[in-house]
Structures are given as structure tokens and as C-alpha cells.
């Protein structure tokens, strides 16, 4: 079975003034469908940049990046936005919920981009909130929820449009241990029971234990882990 | 519509700031409604369908100079003139100078020419038959609780009676109505018999203030006007004949250039409003950069973000503006119902449409820069707080 994510010779260079900073350096990586991958590494190693590229939030400077067989490195901004809407769910360290909307309305947000009628949107959001165990807090605004609950609402928002891929950037970075465990268990359940492919950036080795694979990045390069694609690329070169 | 909740919630994210901005917008559009109501009252006079076929003849030298009554028959003989009537400004005061209303001595056939002032036939006959008879508009009658049969004394400010008395007492014999709501201010007038006025006044007998002609065909108005003015050419009472609308406009401009005054005030008000709402929108979007980045992250396109911010800006203006114009409408109704002597027309469809146009324009104007900022933000930079 072909991998869900195929990355070949991926580089990303940022320009700050006259300075060019190469954040990712010819990365090769395959992520299998249904995998739960943890990306680890020191600050500035390029793990969030790699995650952003996989999630279609940014475009590579060089190399190719396919997700589900689609070359997203070739997509323009509008096409990339449409692609994100239907293929990827995002979970961030600081939840990034809209503070003036209730949990249900936050979860409904991705569905506004679909043609679903309001009643269906509400019902889908309800199901997602139930899945993360927050059906009873549907009417609450983010300010009325704990950090762990907010993160679970963010996960409900990420899965409500039934994406194939979940990208999570330090999802437990702002949580206490108990809440972190709940969130990681939830991600694990989404991966195991619902077949979601999860790519998670984390600093926390305990969080990485919930993943099925862990890869380390350092100075923009993958430094350990079994990466078939790298081997394949090396063999081909 | 499915984005309305999102736009509404964003608008009221900072309730106090939005409330104060809304109050400013409301105040600006309240003023807009009131001032335009006054401007319309000045500019719309004489623009009725009836008014289109009416012309006024005044002294070429000055509106205050009177014309000989003998011109009446001569004007009637001008081809194209269907009817002629005449009037004199009286300038009387009822009880107190602040109770101002227009009061004029008019010829017996006045209501034939002003058929838009609807007077029942019996009351019209009574007006002609009663020497001291007077007819008032329904609005004026309501204001002073007058009813038919009342004796109404007016204090003359210009024309004393022959016996030296300044008190002229009239018998109210009719109350006319104006059905066109845009012409309702015409109900604030008092008319009495010119014949009684001319016989009883101390000076100026046999002279009239102005003539009003009804032309058979409005398209012939220019030709008829020239023919009327030709009657008095090279005399000591040369005349100037013009359409009722042109006369009203000229009369209003003698008081003040209402259009310029209203335009200047509203220009200043809206300029301030643009700065104020522009600042509010810029702040609102600056604070919400991470939230807009999230919307883009989950798939909202650049154009969607642009439209969302612009819609929020227009909603802010439309909400405050609609409340302001609604209050103006209410205030004008109260002012008119109370008979307060300020010339005002109801806040009509034209003012509402102009108002909504302004709300949309200002909303788009103040929203465009923040919206472009939201549209152009790079997700990764915004999420990283850069």
C-alpha cells in the first residue's frame, strides 16, 4: 500500500532580510496510512516547519510533497486552502479556539466550508464533541473550559470534517500531566479506532510513547528512525 | 447567511468598544436623517405633480414689492394659462411669536389652483361666502386644537387695520388635508380671504404679493412665463415668472444654502466617523490575527477572510446606521406631530436608501485595509506570533 505522505528531497529556506536560513535540508520521508508518528527534536530543528508543510500551511522551497497521492507542493493558495479543508485536521499547543464562539460553534467552523445545512452541521459537531467526551459542554465558550477540555474541543474541530490526516503541534505542551494523558489517549484512539493518520510534534518523550513511530530532526535533517524512503532515495542516488 | 453567527460574534468580541462605536455611528446617522429631512423639506417644495404645472409671478425687483391686482385679468388672457390666483403674505402672530406658521390672504379661487390642498366642497363654499373666513391645514388645526367655528385672532406685524387695530379676527370655516406625505408640511398654513384683507388693511390696497398661474401644458411653461413677464415690460412693476419649484428653491436659498450647510455638517461628521470606525476595525482585526490564521488553517480562503472582515465592517455601520436613521424617523414624526415649526419631511425611502448606501460605502472604506491585512497574513507567521 502506498504511503499517505511521501516527501522527497524536501527543503525549506526562509529569508530574513538578507539572510537565508535553511530550516529543512533535503528531507525524505514516507508516512504510512494509519500511522501515528511523533516528530521530536530540539528547538529550531525544523519539526514544526515540517509539520506545517505536511499540513499544507506552507510551501516547500525545493522537493516534492504528496499527501494521499496529491502533489500539494504544486497547489496554489486557494487550492491548498480547499485541500486543507477536506483532508487535514489541525491541533495546536494553545488550542486556538475562537473565544467568542461556543464549543459547538467552534467545532462547526470547518463545516461552514461545506454545503451541509445548519442542522446537519450542528449534528456533526455534536457527534464530534461526544467522541471527545464533551457533549455536556457544547454550549460553553472556551473561557469556561479547562485547558484539557479546550484541547479536546480543538480535536473535535480537527476531526469533524472527517479528514484522513491529523497534524498536531505540541498538543500537550500547555497541559498538566492528567490532561495531557487524556488528550494523548484520545489521539491514540482516533488513530487506532478511527484510522486517522496522526503526525505529532512534541518535546515530551512521554507523549512520544503514544505514537507508533518516532523520528528525530536536528538542524533540518532526519537523524534517526527507520525511514524506508531515505534508504530508497540513497539507493537511487 | 451561514457565516452570520461568525461575523456577529466577531463584531461583539469586545462588547464595550463595539457599543461605543455603534453609538457614534448611530449619532452620525441620526443627524444625517434629521438634516436630510430638513433639506428635503426645503428642496422638495413645488416638486409635486400639481406643482409642476404651477408658476409664480413676483416683482422683478424684490419679492417684497407688491404687484397691481389689475394684472390678474391680463395674465388670464395669456394663451396657455388655465387659471390665475393671487396671495399676500400677512405675517400675523397667533398668541406668541414662537407660534410661527405661514398665514396668507388668498383669492377666492386659490383652492382651485391648489387642488392638492384637499378642502371639502362645502367648506370651500363657506370660505368664499364668509368675509372673515379662514381655512387652515389639518396639522396646524391639530397643533392649536382648532375646530370649525372657532374665532382665531391674529396679531398683524405688517398690516394694521384701517381703524389702527392690529388684531384681525377670523372665522375658521374649513380644514384642508394634504394626502401626499412628502407634502405634509403644506398643512401648516393659514389662509384667509384676500378681499377682506384688502378692504380692511390700512395701506397697500389693490396690490397683491404674488400671482400663481396654472398652465394648461407644463411643457409650455417657459413660453407662458415669457408672455406673462412681457405684460409688465418697461413698467414700474416688471415681473419675474418662474416655476413653483424654482421659486421655492430661490426662496430657500435666500434663507441659507441648506444643501451646503447639510453637506458641510455631514462631511465633517462622516469624516470623523470614518476615522473612528476605521480605528475600531483596525484594532479588532489586529487583535484577531491568530483567529483569522486559524480560519485560514482550517480552509477559509484568502477571499473568504476578506469578505468576512468587510462584512463585519459593513454590519457595524449598518447596525448603528439603521438604528440612527430609525430614531431620526421617529424624531421627525414626533416633531411633525407636535407641530414644532421646523420644516421637516418624513425620513422617506430616498433618505433610507442614501443612508444604506453611505453605510455600505463607509463600511467598505474602513474595512478594506484591515480586510487586506487579514487576507494577506501568512498562516505560519501569524500562528508563530510574528
Write out pLDDT tens, residues A124-133. 999 999 999 9
CB contact under 8 A, B298 and A109: yes
Q: Nearest chain A Cα to B3, which residue?
A: A112
ipTM above 0.90, yes or no: no
Note whether residue A3 is domain-resident.
no
Contacts of B379 in chain A (CB under 8 A): 52, 57-58
Mutation target vs B (from A98, A151, A173; most B CBs, 10 A cutoff) = A98
Which band of pLDDT confidence, cut at 50, 70 and 90, is reported for residue B48? low
Strand order in the sheet with A88-91: A88-91, A165-169, A197-201, A36-40, A213-218, A221-224
Note whether B267 contacts A: Cβ–Cβ < 8 A.
Answer: no
The C-alpha atoms of residue A101 and residue B291 are separated, in whole angstroms, by 11
Can you tell me the mean pLDDT for B170-182? 88
Note whether B179 contacts A: Cβ–Cβ < 8 A.
Answer: no
- The answer to which of A25-29, A207-211, B252-256 has the lowest mean pLDDT is B252-256
Nearest residue, CB atoms, A100 vs list B9, B293, B295: B9
Which band of pLDDT confidence, cut at 50, 70 and 90, is reported for residue A229? very low
CB contact under 8 A, B3 and A57: no
Q: What is the pLDDT of residues B212-238, one digit of tens each?
A: 999 998 888 889 999 999 999 999 999
The C-alpha atoms of residue A107 and residue A96 are separated, in whole angstroms, by 12
What residues of chain B, 272 to 331, have a C-beta less than 8 Å from chain A?
290-291, 293-303
Q: What is the pLDDT of residues B77-104, one digit of tens each?
A: 999 999 999 999 999 999 988 888 899 9
pLDDT of residue B340: 67
The C-alpha atoms of residue B374 and residue B355 are separated, in whole angstroms, by 28
Q: Sign of the CA dihedral A48, A54, A55, A57?
A: positive
CB contact under 8 A, A92 and B383: yes
Number of compact structural domains in chain A:
1
Residues 6+ apart with CB under 8 A from A71: A64, A65
Note whether B9 contacts A: Cβ–Cβ < 8 A.
Answer: yes
Q: How many CB atoms lie within 10 A of CB B2?
A: 15
Residues 6+ apart with CB under 8 A from B138: B175, B176, B177, B178, B187
Note whether residue A234 is domain-resident.
no
Q: Sign of the CA dihedral A106, A112, A117, A118?
A: positive
The C-alpha atoms of residue B65 and residue B237 are separated, in whole angstroms, by 9
Phi, psi of B77 (to 5 degrees): -85, -5
Nearest residue, CB atoms, B300 vs list A49, A99, A113: A113
Note whether residue A72 is domain-resident.
no
CA angle B109–B114–B115, rounded 5-degree value: 100
CB contact under 8 A, B299 and A86: yes
Note whether residue A14 is domain-resident.
no
Contacts of B301 in chain A (CB under 8 A): 77-78, 81-82
Note whether B12 contacts A: Cβ–Cβ < 8 A.
Answer: yes
pLDDT of residue B261: 84
The C-alpha atoms of residue A48 and residue B380 are separated, in whole angstroms, by 9
pLDDT of residue B335: 83
Kind of pairing between the strands at B133-137 and B167-176: parallel
Contact B15, B83 (CB under 8 A): no
Contact B372, B302 (CB under 8 A): no
Provide the shortest C-alpha distance from residue B302 to chain A (in Å).
7
Note whether residue A8 is domain-resident.
no
Note whether B234 contacts A: Cβ–Cβ < 8 A.
Answer: no
CB contact under 8 A, A57 and B379: yes
Looking at residue A150, which CATH number applies to its domain?
3.40.50.300
Dihedral of the alpha carbons of B9, B13, B14, B18, in degrees to the nearest 10: -30
Note whether residue A178 is domain-resident.
yes
Indicate whether B50 pLDDT > 70: no
Note whether residue A227 is domain-resident.
no
Query: Containing domain of residue A130, as a range?
Result: 34-57+77-216
Q: Nearest chain B Cα to A98, which residue?
A: B291
Nearest residue, CB atoms, B299 vs list A82, A92, A96: A82
The C-alpha atoms of residue A73 and residue B371 are separated, in whole angstroms, by 27
Provide the shortest C-alpha distance from residue B12 to chain A (in Å).
8
Residues 6+ apart with CB under 8 A from B197: B88, B90, B105, B159
Print burial letters for B240-256: b (CB count within 10 Å at least 16), e (below 16): bbbbbbebbbeebeeee
What residues of chain B, 350 to 379, have a C-beta less than 8 Å from chain A?
378-379
Report pTM.
Answer: 0.72
The C-alpha atoms of residue B146 and residue B138 are separated, in whole angstroms, by 9
Amino acid at each position: 500500500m502506498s504511503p499517505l505522505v511521501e516527501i522527497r528531497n524536501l527543503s525549506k529556506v526562509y529569508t530574513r532580510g538578507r539572510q537565508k536560513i535553511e530550516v529543512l535540508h533535503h528531507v525524505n520521508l514516507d508516512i504510512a496510512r494509519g500511522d501515528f508518528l511523533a516528530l521530536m527534536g530540539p528547538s529550531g530543528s525544523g519539526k514544526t516547519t515540517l509539520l506545517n508543510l505536511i499540513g499544507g500551511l506552507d510551501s516547500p522551497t525545493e522537493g516534492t510533497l504528496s499527501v494521499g497521492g496529491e502533489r500539494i507542493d504544486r497547489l496554489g493558495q486557494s487550492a491548498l486552502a480547499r485541500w486543507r479543508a477536506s483532508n487535514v485536521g489541525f491541533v495546536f499547543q494553545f488550542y486556538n479556539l475562537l473565544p467568542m464562539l461556543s464549543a459547538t460553534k467552534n467545532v462547526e467552523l470547518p463545516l461552514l466550508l461545506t454545503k451541509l445545512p445548519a442542522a446537519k452541521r450542528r449534528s456533526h459537531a455534536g457527534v464530534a464533541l461526544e467522541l471527545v467526551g464533551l457533549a455536556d459542554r457544547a454550549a460553553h465558550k472556551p473561557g469556561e473550559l479547562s485547558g484539557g477540555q479546550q484541547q479536546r474541543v480543538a480535536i473535535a474541530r480537527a476531526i469533524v470534517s472527517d479528514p484522513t490526516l491529523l497534524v498536531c503541534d505540541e498538543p500537550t505542551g500547555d497541559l498538566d500531566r492528567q490532561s495531557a494523558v487524556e488528550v494523548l489517549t484520545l489521539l491514540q484512539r482516533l488513530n487506532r479506532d478511527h484510522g486517522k493518520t496522526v503526525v505529532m510534534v512534541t518535546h515530551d518523550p512521554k507523549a512520544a510513547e503514544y505514537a507508533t513511530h518516532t523520528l528525530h530532526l536536528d538542524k533540518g535533517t532526519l537523524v534517526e528512525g527507520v525511514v524506508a524512503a531515505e534508504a530508497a532515495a540513497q539507493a537511487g542516488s | 447567511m451561514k457565516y452570520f453567527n461568525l461575523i456577529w460574534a466577531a463584531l461583539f468580541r469586545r462588547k464595550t468598544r463595539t457599543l461605543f462605536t455603534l453609538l457614534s455611528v448611530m449619532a452620525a446617522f441620526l443627524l444625517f436623517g434629521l438634516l436630510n429631512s430638513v433639506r428635503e423639506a426645503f428642496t422638495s417644495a413645488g416638486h409635486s405633480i400639481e406643482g409642476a404645472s404651477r408658476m409664480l409671478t413676483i416683482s422683478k425687483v424684490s419679492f417684497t414689492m407688491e404687484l397691481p391686482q389689475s394684472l390678474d385679468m391680463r395674465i388670464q388672457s395669456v394663451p396657455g394659462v388655465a387659471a390665475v390666483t393671487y396671495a399676500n403674505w400677512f405675517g400675523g402672530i397667533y398668541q406668541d411669536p414662537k407660534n410661527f406658521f405661514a398665514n396668507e390672504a388668498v383669492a377666492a379661487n386659490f383652492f382651485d389652483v391648489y387642488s392638492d390642498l384637499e378642502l371639502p366642497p362645502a367648506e370651500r363654499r363657506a370660505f368664499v361666502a364668509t368675509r372673515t373666513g379662514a381655512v387652515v391645514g389639518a396639522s396646524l388645526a391639530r397643533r392649536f386644537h382648532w375646530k370649525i367655528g372657532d374665532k382665531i385672532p391674529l396679531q398683524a406685524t405688517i398690516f394694521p387695520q384701517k381703524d389702527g387695530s392690529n388684531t384681525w379676527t377670523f372665522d375658521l370655516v374649513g380644514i384642508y388635508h394634504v394626502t401626499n406625505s412628502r407634502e405634509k408640511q403644506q398643512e401648516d398654513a393659514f389662509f384667509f380671504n384676500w378681499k377682506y384683507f384688502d378692504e380692511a388693511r390700512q395701506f397697500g390696497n389693490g396690490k397683491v404679493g404674488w400671482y400663481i398661474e396654472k398652465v394648461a401644458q407644463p411643457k409650455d411653461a417657459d413660453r407662458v412665463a415669457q408672455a406673462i413677464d412681457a405684460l409688465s415690460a418697461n413698467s414700474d412693476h416688471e415681473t419675474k415668472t418662474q416655476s413653483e419649484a424654482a421659486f421655492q428653491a430661490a426662496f430657500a436659498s435666500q434663507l441659507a444654502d441648506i444643501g451646503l450647510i447639510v453637506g458641510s455638517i455631514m462631511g465633517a461628521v462622516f469624516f470623523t466617523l470614518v476615522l473612528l470606525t476605521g480605528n475600531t476595525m483596525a484594532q479588532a482585526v489586529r487583535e484577531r490575527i491568530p483567529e483569522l490564521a486559524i480560519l485560514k488553517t482550517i480552509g477559509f480562503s484568502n477571499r473568504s477572510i476578506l469578505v468576512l472582515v468587510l462584512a463585519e465592517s459593513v454590519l457595524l455601520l449598518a447596525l448603528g446606521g439603521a438604528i440612527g436613521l430609525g430614531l431620526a424617523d421617529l424624531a421627525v414624526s414626533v416633531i411633525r406631530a407636535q407641530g414644532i415649526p421646523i420644516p421637516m419631511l418624513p425620513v422617506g425611502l430616498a433618505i433610507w436608501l442614501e443612508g444604506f448606501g453611505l453605510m455600505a460605502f463607509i463600511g467598505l472604506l474602513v474595512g478594506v485595509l484591515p480586510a487586506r491585512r487579514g487576507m494577506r497574513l501568512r498562516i505560519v507567521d501569524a500562528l508563530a506570533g510574528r
